[in-house]
Amino acid sequence: MAVERTLSIIKPDATCRDLTGRINARFEESGLHIVAQKRIRMTLGVAEKFYEVHRRRSFFDDLCAFMASGPVVVQVLEGEDAIARNREIMGATNPDNAEEKTIRRDFGESIEANSVHGSDSLETAAREIAFFFSDIEIVG
């Protein structure tokens, strides 16, 4: 296993319910270090650019509007096998299908308002981290 970095986003449904601390505890208790973090409000344009890969999907417009609807916490998580590890901790995209004790199962409200986003591959992680952070903002 290699030490990796992954991009995580705590979504508006979670920040609005003050779940940031409880979600961060899940990461830290699982051995993922938060090496960069900021709370921002995405514009619609920023959300559309971030989710560009989903542009042709039926849920694209709703997804982008939701991500721009309130504050989000964007963060870089670092640790052994961080990309797969974070996906385990998050659980399946649809909270109804997520395993017990995962973030989406415990906190997610719907497939859209599913509390967290995490990168799905090394390539995606590199792109998504660079989308929000410069090297100087990531402190391992």
Binding stretches for ligand CMP (CB under 6 A): 54, 59, 63, 93, 111-112, 114, 117
How do beta strands 72-80 and 116-118 pair? unpaired
Of the pair 63, 84, the CB lying nearest ligand CMP is at 63
CA distance 130 to 117: 16
Distance CA 58, CA 12 (A): 20
CB of residue 89 vs ligand CMP: minimum separation in angstroms?
13
The nearest distance, CB 90 to ligand CMP, in angstroms, is: 8
Give whichever of 6 and 114 is closer to ligand CMP, judged by the CB atom.
Answer: 114
Helices (H), 6-58: 12-15, 20-29, 44-50
Q: CB 7 → ligand CMP: shortest distance, Å?
A: 10
Catalytic residue list: 117
